[in-house]
Structure 1
Amino acid sequence: MKVTVDTSLCIGSGTCALTAPAVFGQDEEQAVVVVLDSSPPESQREAVELAVQSCPAAVIRMFATTG
C-alpha cells in the first residue's frame, strides 16, 4: 500500500499519529501530520484504514500497490 497526505489541508488533530504511530507522526513546529512510512507493511493496513476514516480533515489517502 501507499500512503499520502495533503499537509496543506491538515488541521493537526493528531488522530492519525495516535491511531497508526508507526506510519504517522506530527511536526511539532507546524502541527501537521508527517508520514513516517509512505509504504507501510501489510501488518499496518488496519491501523492506516482507521487513520484514514478518523481524519477530521480527510487529508489521508491510502492506495493499493502491485508487486
Structure 2
Amino acid sequence: MKAQIDQERCHGHGRCYTLAPELFGEDDEGYGQVAGDGVVPAAGERAARLAVSNCPERAIDLIEEA
C-alpha cells in the first residue's frame, strides 16, 4: 500500500502528521506531505487509514499495490 496526498485538496489542517507522524510530515508552509517513498508498512496501515478518515479535505489516498 502507498500513501499520497493531493496537494490541491490539502489545506494544511495537519491531522495526517499529527495522527501518523511516521507516515506523514509537513512542508515549510504546514501542508501535509508523505514521508519517504509513501510505502506504508504493514504495521502502519491502521495509522494510515486513521489519517485518511480524519482528513477534512479528503486529500489523502491509499493505493493498494498488487
Instruction: Identify whether the pair has TM-score above 0.5, normalized to the shorter chain.
Output: yes
Identity rate, percent: 32
Residue 35 of structure 2: aligned partner: 36
TM-score by length of 2: 0.90
Deviation of 1:21 after TM superposition, in Å, equals 0.4
Cα deviations by residue, 1:6-36 (Å, 9 ceiling, x for unpaired): 01221101000011100000113x2211100
TM-score by length of 1: 0.89
DSSP 3-state at the match of 1:3: strand
Q: Does 1:20 align with 2:20?
A: yes
Cα deviations by residue, 1:21-59 (Å, 9 ceiling, x for unpaired): 00000113x221110030021100000000000001100
In the alignment, residue 34 of structure 2 is paired with which amino acid?
Answer: V
Q: Aligned equivalents of 1:51 and 1:36: distance in 2? A: 13
Counterparts of residues 1-67 of structure 1 (less than 5 Å) = 1-28=1-28, 30-37=29-36, 38-66=38-66
Deviation of 1:3 after TM superposition, in Å, equals 0.8
CA RMSD of aligned residues (A): 1.0
In the alignment, residue 34 of structure 1 is paired with which amino acid?
Answer: Q
